[in-house]
């Protein structure tokens, strides 16, 4: 493997964080409840498709799942599908030795079951067109993935923490509206995995704030300013994101209130000590970014309150 072009500072940081990673990994493994995707799929509802087996082709009238949950599941499945690239990214970033390497592989095991389970569920229940699903996966995975913060360990750690929390929020909210007991149980398990991933990374960040407070503040401001979901380049992603926002699965309000605010509070960003002028400036920017995110969330909630909201306006509410 080609190691990424990492600064000496970042290489030292990874070494300094290793004892914390080791403890967070132990606690992650101790809290693990392995679950088996096949137990959550209603196989008896399935029947052969057209093609080799000469079964029944998919038809839109067969889809019974709540439409917003269906869109949310397809959106999140496409993100989960790019796991080979994500594995490469974090293996290059954290390395495959010691506690970091054990984490990289364990995390990959847990993420792998999310995509398997969601795909099986959607295909068996005929919730979506399986040909379109496969074509979209193919186009998306073929495009690969590169983290926006390549070569920047702190920013990458902050990004993955935010992303795990955002994903957990979206799965939990889909569970709340999906109305199918089997699907709810599946989403509960996935959300729990994502939450445990977030807790692992958050423990590492907690140590990083203490070790390098100035750099941490700059990296956090940078990620908050530039955050975008990992599947942003997947076909139809923006449209699916708007549907999810309107359904309350993941909107600017959730991004602000359930992701950005809790994380900055947990890390005691506004109580951190030992900052130089550079760190203080970055922290002021974080405060400004939180205010702007709050305004965006409020604007979006007001848009949602307008009856019969036209699609174009809803889209503007999400983007602004």
Q: Which is closer to Fe ion, CB of 140 or CB of 197? A: 197
Q: DSSP class of residue 249?
A: S
Q: According to the binding rule CB under 5 A, does residue 119 interact with Fe ion?
A: no
Report in angstroms how near the CB of residue 84 gets to Fe ion at its nearest.
14
| CB contact at 8 A, 309 and 254 | no
Q: Label residue 222 left, alpha or beta by phi (over 0 means left) and psi (-120 to 50 means alpha).
A: alpha
Q: Which residue has the tokens 């690969």?
A: 144
Q: Which is closer to Fe ion, CB of 111 or CB of 152? A: 111
Q: According to the binding rule CB under 5 A, does residue 81 interact with Fe ion?
A: no
Q: According to the binding rule CB under 5 A, does residue 114 interact with Fe ion?
A: yes
Q: How far apart are the first and last CA of the chain?
A: 40
Which one of 194, 202, 252, 258 is in contact with Fe ion (CB under 5 A)?
194
Q: According to the binding rule CB under 5 A, does residue 111 interact with Fe ion?
A: yes
Report in angstroms how near the CB of residue 189 gets to Fe ion at its nearest.
11
Q: Which is closer to Fe ion, CB of 199 or CB of 272? A: 199
Q: Residues 146-175 vs Fe ion: string with x where CB under 5 A?
A: ------------------x-----------
For residue 182, give both structure tokens. 């089997």
Closest-CA residue to 210 (of 143, 121, 271, 128): 271
Q: Which is closer to Fe ion, CB of 137 or CB of 197? A: 197
In the chain, which ranges are E strands? none
Q: According to the binding rule CB under 5 A, does residue 256 interact with Fe ion?
A: no
Encode 53-81: b = buried (16+ Cβ within 10 Å), e = exposed: eeeeebeeeebebbebbbbbbbbbbbbbb
Q: According to the binding rule CB under 5 A, does residue 197 interact with Fe ion?
A: yes
Q: According to the binding rule CB under 5 A, does residue 283 interact with Fe ion?
A: no
Report in angstroms how near the CB of residue 112 gets to Fe ion at its nearest.
9
Number of other CB atoms surrounding residue 52 within 10 Å: 7
Binding site for Fe ion (CB under 5 A): 111, 114, 164, 194, 197
């Amino acid at each position: 493997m080609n190691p990424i072009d990492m600064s000496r500072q970042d290489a030292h940081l990874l070494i300094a964080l290793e004892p914390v990673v080791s403890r967070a990994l132990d606690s992650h493994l101790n809290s693990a409840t392995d679950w088996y995707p096949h137990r959550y799929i209603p196989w008896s509802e399935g029947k052969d498709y057209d093609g080799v087996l000469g079964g029944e082709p998919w038809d839109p009238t067969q889809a019974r799942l709540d439409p917003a949950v269906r869109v949310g599941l397809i959106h999140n499945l496409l993100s989960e599908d790019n796991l080979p690239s994500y594995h490469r990214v974090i293996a290059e970033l954290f390395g495959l030795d010691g506690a970091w390497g054990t984490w990289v592989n364990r995390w990959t095991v847990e993420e792998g079951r999310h995509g398997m389970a969601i795909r099986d569920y959607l295909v068996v229940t005929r919730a979506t067109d399986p040909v379109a699903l496969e074509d979209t996966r193919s186009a998306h995975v073929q495009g690969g993935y590169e983290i926006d913060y390549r070569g920047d360990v702190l920013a990458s750690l902050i990004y993955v923490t935010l992303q795990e929390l955002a994903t957990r929020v979206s799965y939990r909210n889909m569970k709340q509206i999906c109305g199918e007991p089997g699907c709810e149980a599946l989403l509960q398990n996935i959300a729990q995995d994502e939450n445990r991933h977030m807790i692992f990374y958050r423990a590492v960040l907690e140590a990083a704030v203490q070790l390098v407070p100035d750099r941490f503040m700059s990296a956090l401001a940078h990620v908050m300013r530039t955050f975008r979901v990992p599947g942003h380049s997947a076909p139809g992603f923006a449209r699916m994101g708007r549907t999810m926002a309107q359904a309350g699965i993941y909107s600017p309000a959730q991004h602000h209130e359930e992701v950005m605010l809790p994380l900055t509070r947990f890390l005691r960003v506004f109580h951190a000590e030992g900052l130089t002028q550079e760190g203080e400036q970055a922290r002021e920017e974080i405060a400004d970014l939180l205010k702007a995110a709050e305004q965006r969330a409020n604007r979006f909630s007001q848009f949602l309150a307008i009856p019969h909201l036209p699609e174009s306006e809803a889209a503007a509410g999400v983007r602004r």
